[in-house]
Amino acid sequence: MCEKMIIAIQGERGSYSEQAATELLGFEVEVSCCEYFEEVFERTANKNTTHCLIPIENSLSGSIHKNYDLLLRHNLKITREINLPVQHSLVVAPGVKFEEIKVVISHPVALDQCEKFFEKNPQLTKQSAYDTSGSVKRIMEEGLKSSAAIAGERAAEHHEAEILMAGIQDNPENFTRFFLLASKLEMGENRNKTSIVFSFKNTPGALFKCLSVFALRDIDLYKIESRPIPGRAWEYLFYMDFLGNPEEEAPRNALRHLSELTEFLEVLGSYPRDAKLEKKRI
């Protein structure tokens, strides 16, 4: 019998993370809401949930570096990716008019992505919160009349709030990429993309040589991200995504070749590429 899936997410129900979970796994999926990303990872590592869904990168604000660090600290495997279009709305308690609003509450990244809206409306004060959907929850629970939230449509629906303005973000091309992580290895089909992390020996041209193991085998790369190694000032870990699966010949050879050049190398998971929004090769 199939184990029931429970997905830990950061933020409240109605958040973009919940939206990504249902798009990936269907409307019946059960989510477990956490305030912090540490908690999201821990619940899954401790088997309190079967999976967790974490944002890893936004097409405007860049990588969620904290989650790269947490990926390394916990032994969880990436089993799926999804690119979610992000559309921010101005959400209020039913009946509240735009003229009444003085404060706008949301996650700091969402506030940053609506900079032009705030420039046009200098009377509004920004206030940071830990989650977009959580801001909607707050204006509803506290019955705030002079506050609005910035959140997705789904958050407004979930909390029975009203959308006053839709699409208030600066840039319509706004996508967040999420990873579904599992506490145990899952061998699904079409696992044609792989994420790894490595650090290399201190030799000249080290990064060039590490990239060569892919280039010499015509393996496409999609992403590279560097993070500091704590306690070893100015040394870096590199996270990389490539096309292929370590069970195929060329990627397997590339990883063996890479292991000759690295001090540390770990496969974070192989998963089906989300082709809805094709990432450019690098």
Closer of 65 and 257 to a second copy (Cβ): 65
Asked if 224 is part of the footprint of a second copy (rule: CB under 8 A), the reply reads yes
Rounded Cα distance, 85 and 38, in Å: 25
Q: Any contact of residue 145 with a second copy (CB under 8 A)?
A: no
What is the rounded distance in angstroms from the CA atom of residue 249 to the CA atom of residue 166?
A: 48
Query: Whose CA is closest to 71, among 49, 38, 24, 31?
Result: 38
Of 11-19, 149-157, 197-205, 244-252, the segment contacting a second copy by CB under 8 A is 197-205
Note whether 65 binds a second copy by CB under 8 A. yes
Among 120, 122, 234, 249, binds a second copy (CB under 8 A): 234
Give the position of tokens 């082709």: 275
Closer to a second copy by CB, 2 or 233: give it.
Answer: 233
Q: Which stretch binds a second copy (CB under 8 A): 22-30, 88-96, 206-214, 252-260?
A: 206-214
Q: Which of 223, 253, 257, 267 binds a second copy (CB under 8 A)?
A: 223
199 to 81, 118, 196, 232, 236: CA distances (angstroms): 24, 42, 11, 12, 6
- For residue 41, state whether it binds a second copy (rule: CB under 8 A): no
CA-CA-CA-CA torsion for 101, 103, 107, 108, nearest 10 degrees? 130
208 is catalytic: no
Residue among 162 and 170 whose Cβ is closer to a second copy = 170
Q: Does 87 bind a second copy (CB under 8 A)?
A: no
Contact between 143 and a second copy by CB under 8 A: the answer reads no
Count of chain residues binding a second copy (CB under 8 A): 47
Instruction: Look up residue 87 and give its two tokens.
Output: 């559309």
Q: Establish if 225 lies at the interface with a second copy (CB under 8 A).
A: yes
Q: Does 44 participate in catalysis according to the annotation? A: no
236 is a site residue for a second copy (CB under 8 A) = yes
Q: Please pick, among 49, 50, 176, 262, the residue that the annotation labels catalytic.
A: 176
- Give every CB contact of residue 95 below 8 A, 6+ residues apart in sequence: 162
Out of 206, 250, 261, 265, name the contact with a second copy by CB under 8 A: 206
Which range, of 13-21, 72-80, 172-180, 258-266, touches a second copy by CB under 8 A? 172-180
* Interface stretch with a second copy, choices 44-52, 189-197, 205-213, 247-255 (CB under 8 A): 205-213
Query: Taking Cα atoms as reference points, which of 47, 27, 71, 39 lies closest to residue 180?
Result: 71
Residue 232 CB, shortest distance to a second copy, in Å, is 7
User: Which residues contact a second copy (rule: CB under 8 A)?
Assistant: 57-62, 65, 171, 173, 175, 177, 200, 202-209, 211-212, 214-215, 218, 220-228, 230-236, 277-282
